[in-house]
């Protein structure tokens, strides 16, 4: 069998590069989707945290003032 010609070698390398490029495109698409999903999850959690903070502030405002023991010696 004759050694592969330069053209055959270049063709083989280009084909491997095309396969690798397609794999990287698929990986990139999956990672982009993952980033989108995580960004949406983060935004949802931030919104929930804001709601909880607001509720806690409202509850704290409704609590009666408790005198400090230092201010009221017994």
**What tens digit of pLDDT does each residue of 7-38 get?**
999 999 999 999 999 999 999 999 999 999 99
Whether the per-residue pLDDT at 41 is higher than 90: the answer is yes
Is residue 45 in a domain?
A: yes
Q: Which residues contact 4 (CB under 8 A, 6 or more apart)?
A: 12
Does 12 reside within a domain? no
Q: How many domains is the chain partitioned into structurally?
A: 1
Indicate whether 34 belongs to any domain: yes
The CA distances from residue 63 to 17, 54, 60, 66, 69, in Å, are: 68, 15, 5, 9, 17
Q: What is the pTM of this model?
A: 0.65
- 27: in domain: yes
Mean confidence (pLDDT) of the chain:
92
Check pLDDT > 70 for residue 72: no
Range of the domain at 30: 21-59
- Classify residue 74: in a domain, yes or no: no
The answer to the question of residue 49 being in a domain is yes
């Amino acid at each position: 069998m004759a050694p592969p010609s330069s053209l055959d070698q270049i063709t083989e390398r280009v084909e491997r590069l095309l396969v690798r490029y397609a794999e990287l495109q698929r990986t990139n698409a999956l990672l982009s989707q993952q980033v989108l999903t995580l960004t949406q999850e983060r935004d949802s959690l931030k919104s929930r945290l804001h709601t909880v903070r607001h509720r806690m502030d409202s509850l704290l405002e409704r609590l009666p003032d408790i005198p400090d023991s230092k201010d009221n010696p017994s």
